[in-house]
A and B are shown apart, each in its own frame.
Chain A
């Protein structure tokens, strides 16, 4: 295919989708190339911006960003860009999947805590309506509902865990198990199976009937993520009005119902923006001449295909997504083969405890402020290639709770830089 595109985005996680949409809004023609489903399929659809710094809970992420290490993506692109990116996402999703944030008593934007199916709370920044936790923290009575046959959500575990949280002290937790929607036919039911069922009239009827006896008798109902597959909160709003209380989903384990809703909403936006999306097309090589990338080649079901573009945004993920490949001897970025710094000694790559701050969990491609990769000497590797999301080094998304935040912030920033490059030949 020789039709030249302004921007090619590689990767269909939150980073790639944000970058593609942003680049389109900046006026570029965009093509998105995807290998698989992207990491949103295992995500809960909330935007964690920065929940912890060195193990300390963060209340106001923007206030502490300056204290992050200099090579942290937020420091590289700057606090202002992070804020602009968050605003961008909220505006773009206003209709299809509204995202809200919490504020303290003075109206200052702050992190909020989202309940999980493990009975823990997780700090997060923006959340869709289904995950809105705000009424939970002023509730007196909370009902935790599990579903018979759904093994990954135990009301007793959640109630006991949340009952230990100081911010929920004094709350009266009640537990219930809703009847099996599939009548024992399925052996391994996931929240996604139930969410699909609840997307039907029959399924919604089942959920309402099952919860009916609690209508008006509790302040909050906590459910596993089963309130339909579509973004926008239609099902949850209906439940709230019928049951006369706040209904809220808990964060859960994959498959990520919330992440899939967000993905669908973004994919719809891409579609409406007439962005070309090519799926099942793993990127196998890149063609570089004189420090510029001309094209990338994909190997899809239809054979190899070259995609030429003015600029490229690499959003292929980290170790988990396959954007960074680790061997016993070295680590490399997967498409361009860029070396990724990693301790030579294998045991030095990780700490002794599983939740330690592992060097391996922070590693990734080193970039400049416009997200172009730097080589060992600190020179830009390729003028027109920008890196975003978990492909980048300098942060540990799981420990910091910053995965989706960095995805959106750097995806948007890479798009801005790529479009600046397209227009002027230099990045902003």
Chain B
């Protein structure tokens, strides 16, 4: 039995932000996540830190929240954000009157925009459509959702929070109209965990309807599928939006060496409905093509989908449903100590966490103010630490790694230094994302790591242009050399690792993607006979 004051359900940005906020206000809290951290929508979106421009006309209040939170997140999560700025581009087929509504709406929301000559825009982004009519600069940024969640967790842990991954809540207990605890199942071991608590925050995103049902509550959350495409090139250095009312496939977001195009919007049958479909991929290409006319020539790395947790009282659907959020105290429905945070956007995750934490504080009689907007989540490493590390770590890898690792940096640097001192190598296992063995070892020795896929999620290993073709074997080899075992045997690990990627390639299996896939099969099946090894295991 674990005792705590507040149980947060959901390890996405909002839940983790809530855990951090609670802990920073001195409230004992734990968080349960059914998968790995950010396994839901927080890692399944375009990674845009909205300036608010997209919502300026349709929902000016949301737009204002976006720009305010955009500034805060850039400050407290420097390591998770690339400040690329963005363009809003008016194309010949777009309504020029919309721009006239949009300009004052941005001013009203407090979003600084700056119109530039389309020729200047083309100079800055040479692949942009030559027929763009008007171009506006705007403070959009790119954010690594997965890393942001992890860094929130690090900060929460530093303030006493505890996080349990792969734990699914199976029951919520209450007595006399008050929440008193919950039961969870460890999905890896199958063991049951009992939690005693005074409050529960349901921050389960698309799954929050299911969690509410465990407490006997009926809430209106509809999962809405959004499909996106990842391209193998960074063909734009800026976020590029179409200047027209929000639509599918009109935002391009660069991340590292890739670009993401999204997003479709279709009502989903359930929150796990995340298999991207070929028609969605083709639809995105068609809609994205006006902004980047050479779009179809770029190699697609994969397609992926997530579900937005749209809060839909009164049955609004798709883009008509509000992108705003709602913090709810369920005392009004007869259950004290139960809170939910519904809807919203990744960009405003911190504000959502603050609002629901405020409700919890009122309930518990805590008067500490929220400090999450003031304190960076992960402190910058001391300059002398980096300077020393540069002696045994190549610089470009080091800065990427330092940003990625946050609190885990000292341990990884310690491992790298020890390897240098005893004259062993620290091989670069993933050349696309610059992941060295020391980092993989640190993650792999963590009790929460079970598979190559877990390592991928925490290091970005295999997320780059080769999509795991080179690093899968190499990483298993390095782990074997150091007696670190994963849950399954190597052929199965390779299969599972490549399988993740296969899901994302199947709906886009043509052109260069089909060729790349043929290459991966030639290596792993043709040369290494991984498929045959799996057959023989079964027999």
Name A's B-contacting residues (CB within 8 A). 39, 42-44, 51-52, 55-57, 116-123, 146, 148-149, 151-157, 160-161, 164, 177, 180, 184, 187-188, 251-254, 318-320, 322, 325-328, 345-347, 349-350, 352-355, 360-361, 397-399, 401, 403
Contacts and interface: CB of A to CB of B under 8 A. Distances in A.
Main secondary structure of the interface of A (DSSP, over half): loop
Contact of A120 (B477, B520, B522, B528): B528
A132 B163 CA distance: 53
Nearest to B531: A355
B518 A156 contact: no
Interface in B357-390: none
Given A154-B480, A154-B481, A187-B428, A161 B490 contact: yes
B481 A155 contact: yes
Interface stretch (B177-185, B202-210, B505-513): B505-513
Contact of B278 (A52, A319, A347, A397): A347
Contact of A399 (B491, B499, B531): B531
A325 B513 CA distance: 11
Contacts of A328: 278, 282, 510
Interface in B432-476: 470, 473-474, 476
A254 B528 contact: no
B533 A120 contact: yes
Contact of A152 (B425, B473, B498, B533): B473
A318 B527 contact: no
A353 B527 contact: no
Contact of A122 (B491, B510, B529): B529
Contact of B425 (A42, A56, A149, A355): A149
Interface string B491-519: 10011001101100011011100110011
B509 A346 contact: yes
Contacts of B103: none
Contact of A154 (B425, B477, B491, B520): B477
B487 interface: no
Contacts of A319: 514-515, 518
A346 B276 CA distance: 12
Residue among B483, B515, B532 with the highest chain A CB neighbour number at 10 A: B532
Given A118-B473, A253-B473, A350-B509, A151 B518 contact: no
A254 B60 CA distance: 55
Contacts of B506: 346-347, 350, 352
B126 interface: no
Contacts of B494: 118
B528 A251 contact: yes
A44 B535 CA distance: 22
Given A157-B490, A320-B515, A326-B509, A116 B527 contact: yes
B521 interface: yes
Contact of B495 (A146, A180, A355): A355
Given A151-B428, A328-B510, A398-B522, 4 more contacts: A52-B532, A157-B481, A327-B510, A345-B278
B528 A122 contact: yes
Contacts of A149: 425, 427
B526 A252 contact: no
B270 interface: no
A294 to B, nearest CB: 30
Residue among A322, A328, A397, A403 with the highest chain B CB neighbour number at 10 A: A328
B250 to A, nearest CB: 20
B147 to A, nearest CB: 25
A349 B481 CA distance: 39
B470 to A, nearest CB: 7
A403 B526 contact: yes
Given A148-B425, A319-B514, A253 B478 contact: no
Contacts of A184: 425
24 contacts: A42-B519, A117-B528, A118-B473, A120-B533, A149-B425, A151-B429, A154-B478, A155-B481, A157-B490, A161-B533, A251-B528, A253-B470, A253-B527, A319-B514, A326-B509, A326-B510, A346-B278, A350-B509, A352-B506, A354-B495, A354-B498, A354-B501, A355-B531, A397-B526
